[in-house]
Amino acid sequence: MRQIEIAWQSIGAKVRITLDEGRNAELVEPLWAALPYQTLQGHALVAGDCIYHVPPAHDLLHAVPDHRVDRKIQPNGTVFCSSVQHLTIKYGDLTEPMPTSPIGSVVPEDVDALPKIGQMVWDSVHGNGAPVIAQVRRVDGEAGHGVRRMPAESASARDLIERIAAETERVLIEPTDELVAAHEGRFDQGAGTKNSVLTTLVCINGETRPLGYVSHTGLVRAARLTDVPLSALVEMAKILLVKPTEFLGYCGLNTLWDLTQDMVALLAETTSREDFIALMSHMATYTNALGAWNLQLFPWELGGDTWTFRPTITRSAHA
């Protein structure tokens, strides 16, 4: 029986999780191999009572689980993994009937603590509190933090992977100076029409999330699970990745833009499908970690707890 522990030292909490080795081994194995690590703890903002984090387990991006359930009706304490690199723990009512893949359960004696933990994480994310960092390790194993480097054939790919992984190790546990500057309204290239900040933050989040969840992940899955030629994958990478990261660079995320330019230049010369997968996987993990901090730093207090619709457009009788 394999178990992991998630500890949140800043809120004085921890839980143990028993992994289900009989189902969804495609998800359990890469998670187990990624341990130990640390990462920002998040809370669902739309779907209800669940907490999630980004584990640096690259193979989750293309894993094909053999067992899927409606997470809305699963018992509290059920733990799921997904292809958008979320490890999720359900602790109460969920409103989104999303099919997802269970990988284990919080041990029975720790389940009752989950609502309190969930509330403290919610207060951190939505209440503009201090970030909560999850420390994840094997039960009885060593604590620590790191991002596994995927193998690559070319020295140039290995060098770039090292750069991306080093950035990822940092951004999993603390925001970049670039993200902090953006959320403080400091845009060196003048982003933010008429000195607005909120609109730019919305656009940063709106580009970053699909970049990692859809574009990078989709390219990894296409490379690993289909026979699309490498040349076509490279062209699709240029189409899908350059424009949004160029925009994000203009908004201040220069490191993401620099890494993307270097990766696209390298892909133009590569003949290795495995190098393509490794580079895209590392970029997905990095981008997903950036996206987690966007949600943590976002000024949610501006929206309050209620929303009133105020129509501003009136239609003529002939419209």
What is the tens place of the pLDDT at every residue in 272-294?
999 999 999 999 999 999 999 99
Cβ distance 48 to 95 under 8 Å? yes
CA gap 155, 270 in Å, rounded: 11
In the predicted model, what is the mean pLDDT of residues 49-57?
96
pLDDT value of position 226: 97
CATH 2.40.100.20 maps onto the chain at 3-138
What's the pLDDT band for 121 if we cut at 50, 70, 90?
very high
Contacts 24+ apart (CB under 8 A), 227-231: 230/270, 230/271, 230/273, 230/276
Per residue in 201-244, pLDDT (tens digit) is 999 999 999 999 999 999 999 999 999 999 999 999 999 999 99
Q: What is the pLDDT of residue 35?
A: 97
Average pLDDT over residues 164-184: 96
Mean pLDDT of 66-77: 90
DSSP 141: S
Looking at the predicted structure, is the pLDDT value of residue 309 above 60?
A: no
Tokens representing residue 86 in the block: 């979320």
Q: Which of 26-30, 119-123, 311-315 has the lowest mean pLDDT?
A: 311-315
pLDDT above 70 covers a percentage of the chain that reads 94
CATH number of 3-138: 2.40.100.20
264 pLDDT higher than 80: yes
User: Torsion over CA of 117, 107, 68 and 206, rounded to 10 degrees?
Assistant: 20
Which residue from 177, 179, 146 is spatially nearest to 285, judged by alpha carbons? 146
The tens digit of pLDDT for each residue in 74-115 reads 999 999 998 889 999 999 999 987 789 999 999 999 999 999
| pLDDT number for residue 99 | 86
Give the pLDDT of residue 319.
47
Token pair for 103: 């990988």
Residue 191, both tokens: 């982003």
Calculate the average pLDDT of the chain.
92
